[in-house]
Copies of this chain bind each other. A is one copy, B any other.
Amino acid sequence: MRTHFDCFPCFLRQALDAIRLVNLDNKVQEQLFRDVLRWMSEMDLSLPPPVITQLIHRRIRDLSGQADPYLLIKKEQNQLARVLLGEMSEQIKNADDPLEMAIRLAIAGNVIDMGVKGKVTEEELRNSLGQALIQPIWGNIDAFRQKVKQADSILYLADNAGEIVFDRLLIQALAPARVSVAVRGGPVINDATWEDALAVGIGEVAELIDNGSDAPGTVLSDCSDDFCARFASADLVIAKGQGNVETLSQAPREIFFLFKVKCDVIAGHTGIPLGTHALLHYNGMPSQEGK
């Protein structure tokens, strides 16, 4: 997906959040902010939004010397989501359709997104869960169910810390022996990394891999060869969150995207209304994108 003009105010807000999170001298902060504006002014708009976000956050990590500025926030988000784990497990267990309930909760977990909104409270998370139970899911669950039934191998692309607690429940509902869960290859914003996946017990229920990239999405040209091979060969790919929609919307294979529509740009791009809980079945296109 191309970057839209409307992404730029959001880039700036994200950059400001991150700049303030790390301990930088005022002059360095200002220079960094000016660099970000200059990159934005020169940006190739045919690239997806996470490419510039990746660049911004790399520079912030370099300048601050902090390898993972969001480390504490991610720990808190994992902790926050884990508090609700028992409750959610019960909801899935008691549901008429446990797979649908697990999908609903996994989409609800996508509210934990520092990229779109600055922070998430327990109240917002509980509201999001409440919403998930009543709001219709946009998309064809039966097509998804059918694919899940047929797949020998499933690649699950995780999104954010905290959210992966919710992902774990869906993965458990998918017969996890055939599932590989891919996290980001390095820290970026609050995106889930290997440590977050281990912290919430994903490693106990499915195979864990990383994509080799520190982009807040799945930029195939920046991912490891191993990841790209897995991505190409999996019978079913499930991708969580807007970052994955933005970076994989022209990927050369079928993908099921699970996400909440959080901004007008994604609403416009997908044709799905803002706020919708979506299971978007993408059929793949014979693009030149990818490695």
Is there contact, CB below 8 Å, between B16 and A5?
A: yes
Is there contact, CB below 8 Å, between A8 and B37?
A: yes
A12 beta carbon closer than 8 Å to chain B: yes
Residues of A30-63 whose CB lies within 8 A of B: 30, 33-35, 37-38, 40-42, 45
Measured CB to CB, the nearest residue on chain B to A37 is B41
Contact-size category for A: 20 to 34
* A10 / chain B contacts, CB cutoff of 8 Å: 9
A42 to B31, CA, bound (A): 10
Is there contact, CB below 8 Å, between B5 and A33?
A: yes
* A29 / chain B contacts, CB cutoff of 8 Å: 5
A13 beta carbon closer than 8 Å to chain B: yes
A25 beta carbon closer than 8 Å to chain B: no
| This protein's copies in its complex | 2
Measured CB to CB, the nearest residue on chain B to A14 is B9
A6 beta carbon closer than 8 Å to chain B: yes
Measured CB to CB, the nearest residue on chain B to A33 is B5
A35 to B37, CA, bound (A): 11
* A41 / chain B contacts, CB cutoff of 8 Å: 34-35, 37-38, 41
Is there contact, CB below 8 Å, between A45 and B16?
A: no
Measured CB to CB, the nearest residue on chain B to A42 is B34
Is there contact, CB below 8 Å, between A40 and B37?
A: yes
Q: How far is the CB of A38 from chain B (nearest CB, A)?
A: 4
Measured CB to CB, the nearest residue on chain B to A10 is B9
A19 to B30, CA, bound (A): 27
* A5 / chain B contacts, CB cutoff of 8 Å: 16, 19, 29, 33
A38 to B38, CA, bound (A): 6
* A8 / chain B contacts, CB cutoff of 8 Å: 12, 33, 37
Is there contact, CB below 8 Å, between B6 and A9?
A: no
Query: Contacting A37 at CB < 8 Å: which of B6, B13, B30, B37?
Result: B37
Q: How far is the CB of A18 from chain B (nearest CB, A)?
A: 12
Q: How far is the CB of A117 from chain B (nearest CB, A)?
A: 13
Q: Can you identify 25 A-B contacts, CB atoms within 8 angstroms? A: A5-B16, A5-B19, A5-B29, A5-B33, A6-B16, A8-B12, A8-B33, A8-B37, A9-B9, A9-B10, A9-B12, A9-B13, A9-B16, A12-B12, A30-B45, A34-B41, A34-B42, A35-B41, A37-B37, A37-B38, A37-B40, A37-B41, A38-B38, A38-B41, A41-B41
Given A9-B12, A37-B40, 16 more pairs with CB closer than 8 A: A5-B16, A5-B19, A5-B29, A8-B12, A9-B9, A9-B10, A9-B13, A9-B16, A30-B45, A34-B41, A35-B41, A37-B37, A37-B38, A37-B41, A38-B38, A41-B41
Interface residues of A (CB under 8 A from B): 5-6, 8-10, 12-13, 16, 19, 29-30, 33-35, 37-38, 40-42, 45
